[in-house]
Structure 1
Amino acid sequence: MNRRIHLTLTLPPRAAPRATGATAAVNRPSRVAGPGRVAEPSRISEPSGVAEPAREAAPGGEAASSGRAAPGREAAPGGEAASSGRAAPGREAAPGRPADIDRLLAAVRLAEAAGLDAVTLTDDGPDPAGLLARLAAVTERIGLIGTLPAAHGDPLELARRLADLDFLSGGRVGWHVGSDNPTGAARFGALEEPGRPERARRRTEAVGAVLARWNRRNDLLSAQGRPVLVWPGGAEVAGVADVVIHARSTAHDNRDPEHGRGERAGIARSRAFRTAVRATAHAAGRDPDAVLVLPAVTTLLSSTEHEAREVTPLPARRDGHRAVAGTPGRVADELERWVRAGAADGFDVVPGGDGPDALEAFTEHLVPELRRRGLFRDGYENRTLRGHLGLPVAPAGRRRAASLTGSR
């Protein structure tokens, strides 16, 4: 069996490389750093404010309104052009370019250079929609997924913003249905959080409203038709979701007596979950192959088997990610077993480790190992997020029944 997997990367702030002023110092380790250790790097400085080549003006004739930068300029959140951020070595970044944004831009460029399908922006930092506009202006191929809450704010406005960004990015945007955390709620003026059942009800209704609005949209459609819907949840969301993120906290977990514990048990749980997702998609009148299941994993890479034996990975992170630790070869072995067992279509990855080398280790050691095994493509073969994920285009006028009854 020769299956290719899909890789999306979730970027919490700590996963991004260091940035000094307007220059991101990208550490390219000569070997993979073990937990708590820093590899001896050969340092390559990359400008964190590289401006995008000239692009055609967006409809209406104003390049800034598209969120894409004119030559020598970089789009800021909300579509306004900002300084490119270039600075002489040792100088501070220009105002309006905080270090965390520099690090994020550097991280996304690393992910695109590695050919990953997409990066997912979490909702615990700046407004993800604004960051999507900025990233769309300085990237070419990688998919851009924003985590935005569904239960707060106006779902029609949310649908418009995401669809506009999808159009302006050339069909590279996805919506990760947020869990409505207090940070996200505060952005929309929520004074208090309702109970879990009420949040689930609102989320279900909001997703249905967003999909209905996308289905009615007949102008300014992107090359992929509409944004990719990414939903971390149970199998019931497969009636509408394009990608289901399988975190252990959302489905069969360690307390499941049917499957027990350990890697084999984890594979059995995920295979059962993927089977349930495909059955739900089929029952909703969808092609089961048009719904992907990506288990959430944290990779903890070490350079030697000795270091790997010193690592004691947690069975799962608090966010539901399963920890996979070891050398790139050992981690690739485990991911390959999951895919070949029919337990996953790919993985949603958070590179583990507190140091700045975690992302570089993932892109420069694990991804090439997966390519060597024929598990991951050599480069981009498409220009849209749906194309990267092997999902069908969602053309105008296609109606998808929002079969969300019972989704929680």
Structure 2
Amino acid sequence: MPRQLHINVNILNAGVFGGSWRFPGTDATAAYTIEHYTSIARKAERAKLDAVFLADGPALDPSVRHRPGNSLEPTTVLARIAAQTEHIGLIGTLSSSYNDPVELARRLGDLDYVSGGRFGWNVVTTAGPIAARNFGRPGEPEHALRYRRAAVFTEQVVAAWAQRTDLVSPQVRPVVVQAGGSSAGRRLASRVGEVIFSADQDLGHARAFRAEIRAGAARFGRRPEEIVVLPGLSTVVGATEAEARARRELLDEILPDAYARGRLAGQLGISLDGLRDDDPIPAELLVDPDEAGGSQSFYRVVKAIIDAERPTLGQLLKKLSGGGGHRIVTGTPEQIADDIERWFHAGAADGFNVMPDVLPSGFDDFADHVIPELQRRGLFRTEYDGTTLRGHLGLGLPPVPSGRHLEVVPS
């Protein structure tokens, strides 16, 4: 059978765009209700997507003043989704920086069992001082330490799953998902990741990233063909090009300026105070990506845009539209399918973690129009072949990590 795409939907509160909650016809507070998530998940299952994906951070971000946040704990939401669906995978983000591996292994292992083998764990190293303060710490752990802890932590969790003799799911243990584009993040992905959630604006760079992760996995004694790389993809769908452009322009207009500036300042680690929209970004203040704090993945993406395009602050804010740095594709269903197919056949992606502009309307457009176009081209399934997340992704069961680490690195 020809190789086919893997597609998840990221249910990111009101949508990935910073002004999504202000879009006409959108319920600005829907992300604070469980039905928001379960209804999108049921729609995703009817469209035969691989999984729903929930982002999370263990903190109340001050940007909630300007847009809805991720309000509900992901395993709680996914347990409810599991009860209302039968096939679709369930991927939740849980921090390796601020959790205990024994407790986390039990919680996620149990959810995998009760869902019939549909769970995946997105391993993240939580960046930023806000989360650190939430746990009574004076500052975030240093970047390299966060990733050393994540590697040990993940090995311990997977080893605990492998030791279970009761309540074992049909896929044996959850799928390990990892998101991180820094040097340490790429090494962690090669070492333990089965699905890699990446951020990339450039096809050539994305192709090189995928090749690097697969080669790194081989060096760890793993099968590189069982690594699934899913870049984030933000979509703005219209029945015509003009309709899609008008939707994108409206989303740019309703983007809260304070939110967009605050998010960009946090990503770059510099102050934007005093900069006007027509001022250039002060490139002399930007450090090498490997020296940046916070999330190096998004820093790297945004710095690459600045280096290549030399945008003004206003131009950069519009390009990102408050979405953080994932690639945005605007167009008709056929044009978006063309773009997806081009990246897929070029070896830049095994599929995508789709991040609709507005929820639920943007996902309705994607599921109702883009997915059928991909199916018509033979690029995406029309029915599920199995019942587990591993089955949807075509993944076998990788060896249990070596277990050579005896203690978790302190956070």
The whole-number CA distance in structure 2 between the counterparts of 1:320 and 1:215 is: 36
Cross-structure match for 2:147? 200
SS of the equivalent of 1:314 reads helix
Among candidates 332, 340, 360, match of residue 335 of structure 1: 340
The whole-number CA distance in structure 1 between the counterparts of 2:160 and 2:130 is: 22
More RCO (CA 8 Å, sep 6+): 2
* TM-score normalised by length of structure 2: 0.68
Query: Whose strand proportion is higher, 1 or 2?
Result: 1
Task: Provide the aligned C-alpha RMSD in A.
Answer: 3.0
Kept in 2: contact 1:166–1:222 (CA 8 A): yes
- Within a 5 Å distance, the mapping from 1:270-349 to structure 2 comes to 270-310=206-246, 311=248, 314=319, 318-349=323-354
Cross-structure match for 1:243? 195
The whole-number CA distance in structure 1 between the counterparts of 2:123 and 2:161 is: 15
Kept in 2: contact 1:149–1:179 (CA 8 A): yes
1:217 aligns with 2:172: no
Kept in 1: contact 2:95–2:125 (CA 8 A): yes
1:162 aligns with 2:108: yes
Kept in 2: contact 1:153–1:188 (CA 8 A): no
SS of the equivalent of 1:280 reads helix
Cα offset for 1:318?
A: 4.3
The whole-number CA distance in structure 1 between the counterparts of 2:378 and 2:403 is: 37
Query: Whose helix proportion is higher, 1 or 2?
Result: 2
Q: Percent sequence identity over matched residues? A: 42
**Letter of the structure 2 residue corresponding to residue 342 of structure 1:** G
Any idea what the Cα deviations from partners look like across 1:330-373, whole Å, max 9, x if unmatched? 011011000000111000011113x6411110110111111111
The whole-number CA distance in structure 1 between the counterparts of 2:209 and 2:105 is: 29
Cross-structure match for 1:385? 389
Cross-structure match for 1:360? 364
In structure 1, list runs of 5 or more residues that go unmatched. Answer: 17-34, 40-96, 254-265
Cross-structure match for 2:52? 119
The whole-number CA distance in structure 2 between the counterparts of 1:154 and 1:223 is: 25
**Letter of the structure 1 residue corresponding to residue 335 of structure 2:** R
- When residues 351 and 98 of structure 1 are mapped into structure 2, their CA distance, relative to the original with a 3 A threshold, is closer
Kept in 1: contact 2:177–2:195 (CA 8 A): yes
SS of the equivalent of 1:222 reads coil
The whole-number CA distance in structure 2 between the counterparts of 1:375 and 1:315 is: 28
Cross-structure match for 2:308? none
- Within a 5 Å distance, the mapping from 1:8-407 to structure 2 comes to 8-15=8-15, 100-123=33-56, 124-180=70-126, 185=131, 189-197=135-143, 198-234=145-181, 235-236=186-187, 237-248=189-200, 266-310=202-246, 311=248, 314=319, 318-353=323-358, 356-393=360-397, 398-401=399-402
The whole-number CA distance in structure 2 between the counterparts of 1:105 and 1:183 is: 32
Cα offset for 1:187?
A: 11
Kept in 1: contact 2:54–2:92 (CA 8 A): yes
Q: Return 171-180 or 195-204, whichever deviates more.
A: 195-204
SS of the equivalent of 2:230 reads strand
Kept in 1: contact 2:129–2:139 (CA 8 A): no
Cα offset for 1:380?
A: 1.0
Kept in 1: contact 2:151–2:192 (CA 8 A): no
